[in-house]
Amino acid sequence: MGISEDLWQQEAINLSLGARSLVVAPGQGARIVSLSLDGEQMLTQPQTHPANYGSTFWDAPQSAWDWPPRAALDSLPYRSCRDGRGQALLGPVDAESGLQCYKRFAVDAERGCFVIEYRLRNSGTSSCRTAPWELTRVPGGLSFFPVSAAAGLPESALAPTLERDGVCWYRFAEGDFKVGRKLFRAGREGWLAHLLPGGLLLIKSFPEIEAGEQAPGHGSVELWGQDGGIYVELENHGRYQRLAPGESLGYRVCWFIERLPADLDVGPGSVALLEFVRGCLARRTFNPSGPA
């Protein structure tokens, strides 16, 4: 699957669901480094970018830390901790913010998905305001998600290919990314999907938030294209809230990876593609806002 050997310095977590596989590297910030179906890889690998690959988790807003992301959340080693409901990992405390991240990874065979639960704790001595932020890096393809009207979002430098009937579509075009560009939207229905040219489809299901509940300077759903178009980020945000010392917030996400039928219409605006995604989510009833 093209995963760099240095990711295995600490034993990896490998979850399987039939022909589907999800791999987590505890030594790399408990990052998801592989998501595959029948051996075909959905996520970008370190060969694409040595630091920005796979799927990670940050705190929002970005204005609280600028760049680079907090290493305690993003890249430092996590340690295993006891948990009877899945593979659980706890990261170090970030010295500046006092934030600490806990991640749990599990398989839901009945619903046919991987379940990822994040818990962001304020382990510091002062109150803070923060929000959960999951970023998943994938090769270029077709990204799409339902949207609602919302005022006050940042201006998007990346224009959608099509926005119609309450759905935003972006078909990757390398020429759009001489410099990195981002699209900001208020998501609706609590899902974001990405289709690779070969027909491999990722659906991320997450708690829907109301317009205005996202962290300042963000949309509840965002797409980012890296400089040169070497990868695309699928970004979903949870509710921005205050955490007193010792308090934590939970954020649960469900990932489906599917193979589309060869005869399905897959262009921007495809009703059949939307029906396929919504059918997957409806057949496998999942409550992304349930208790973490």
Q: What is the DSSP letter of 281?
A: H
Dump pLDDT digits (tens) for 137-170: 999 999 999 999 999 999 999 999 999 999 999 9
- Determine whether domain 5-283 maps to CATH 3.90.600.10: no
Dihedrals φ, ψ of 74, to 5°? -95, -40
Question: What's the farthest any 2 CA atoms get from each other in the chain?
Answer: 57
pTM for the whole structure: 0.93
pLDDT tens for residues 160-219? 999 999 999 999 999 999 999 999 999 999 999 999 999 999 999 999 999 899 999 999
Q: Which band of pLDDT confidence, cut at 50, 70 and 90, is reported for residue 11?
A: confident
When pLDDT is cut at 50, 70 and 90, the band that residue 8 belongs to is very low
Where along the chain do its domains lie? Answer: 5-283
Residues 234-247: pLDDT tens digits?
999 999 999 999 99
| Banded pLDDT at 88 (limits 50, 70, 90) | very high
Handedness of CA 195, 281, 87, 21 (dihedral sign): negative
Q: Please report the pLDDT score of residue 7 as a whole number.
A: 41
Task: Report the pLDDT value the prediction gives residue 43, as an integer from 0 to 100.
Answer: 98
- Is the model's pLDDT at 5 over the cut of 50? no
* Residues 235/134, Cβ–Cβ less than 8 Å: yes
